[in-house]
Chains A and B, each alone.
Chain A
Amino acid sequence: DAKTTQPPSMDCAEGRAANLPCNHSTISGNEYVYWYRQIHSQGPQYIIHGLKNNETNEMASLIITEDRKSSTLILPHATLRDTAVYYCIVRLMTTDSWGKLQFGAGTQVVVTP
């Protein structure tokens, strides 16, 4: 699976959009980009995933560059409950990789009042 690079930490003001970058320059054509987050003392929570096209759900938006070498997770209106470690993960959708998410260090996002 391709390696990802994320900033170690980010601050965001409550009510503002949080834009979380992720570099995955070695991504291959059939590797998906996933985002999970882990709030303190809880297990990780799935946010969103995508292959090529931008994706949006009730939690966030995922913007993938045309060359797929980087992506941005957007939390449109950050709240204090969005304070968490955010993980960007790239992996193949094959039988061998199911369940085998490789979590890196992630980005610690702190939302301030």
Chain B
Amino acid sequence: EAGVTQSPTHLIKTRGQQATLRCSPISGHTSVYWYQQALGLGLQFLLWYDEGEERNRGNFPPRFSGRQFPNYSSELNVNALELEDSALYLCASSLYREREKLFFGSGTQLSVL
């Protein structure tokens, strides 16, 4: 069974640009979560989607947004990139009935120059 897959693995952007990160959950999982792991700050919760709707949001500005598609895959969009957005962005998925067990992908390393 395939795990959570994220693309691209690495992404380099310049300040002010937009970044789009993609995530495919494990088959059968309807919930998708996004986390940011920046150096020195640890893992921070960004967004949670379930059945196509945003269910919860962390303390991030509105330029961090996303969506979930009918096939449960998800996109994270970061607009007006800032240098401090450089981080590893991790996607996770879960079964609806086992929301305590998150399965994480290996992440997208975003570098903002």
Name A's B-contacting residues (CB within 8 A): 32, 34, 36, 41-46, 49, 93, 95-96, 98-105
Contacts and interface: CB of A to CB of B under 8 A. Distances in A.
Contact of B100 (A32, A43, A96, A103): A32
Contacts of A46: 100-103
B100 A34 contact: yes
Q: Is the interface of B mostly helix, strand, loop or mixed?
A: strand
Interface residues of B, number: 25
Contact of B99 (A41, A43, A98, A105): A98
A44 B42 CA distance: 12
A105 B94 CA distance: 24
Nearest to B42: A103
Nearest to A44: B104
Interface in B14-37: 31, 33, 35
Q: Is the interface of A mostly helix, strand, loop or mixed?
A: loop
Contact of A98 (B4, B43, B56, B104): B56
B66 interface: no
Given A32-B100, A99-B45, A103-B42, A41 B106 contact: yes
Nearest to B33: A99
Contact of B106 (A42, A96, A102, A104): A42
Contacts of A43: 4, 90-92, 104-107
A102 B59 CA distance: 12
A89 to B, nearest CB: 10
Contacts of A101: 35, 43, 45, 102
Contact of A44 (B43, B48, B94, B99): B43
Contacts of B43: 44, 101, 103
Interface in B79-102: 90-92, 94, 99-102
